[in-house]
Amino acid sequence: MVGNWKFCLLGMVLLTTMELNAQQVSVAATPPMGWNSWNHFAEKVTEADVRSAADALVASGMRDAGYVYVNIDDTWEGKRDAQGVIVLDSNAELRIPSHAVMLA
Based on C-alpha coordinates, what's the Rg of the chain?
Answer: 25
φ, ψ of residue 100 in degrees (nearest 5): -65, -40
Q: How far apart are CA 37 and CA 46, in angstroms?
A: 9
One-letter identity of residue 7: F
Q: Report the predicted TM-score, pTM, of the whole model to 2 decimal places.
A: 0.56
41-86 pLDDT, tens digit each: 988 888 889 889 999 999 999 999 988 888 888 777 778 889 998 8
Pick the closest to residue 72 from 103, 32, 104 (CA basis): 103
Percent of the chain with pLDDT over 90: 13
Across 3-38, b (16+ Cβ under 10 Å) vs e yields eeeeeeeeeeeeeeeeeeeeeeeeeeeeeeeebebe
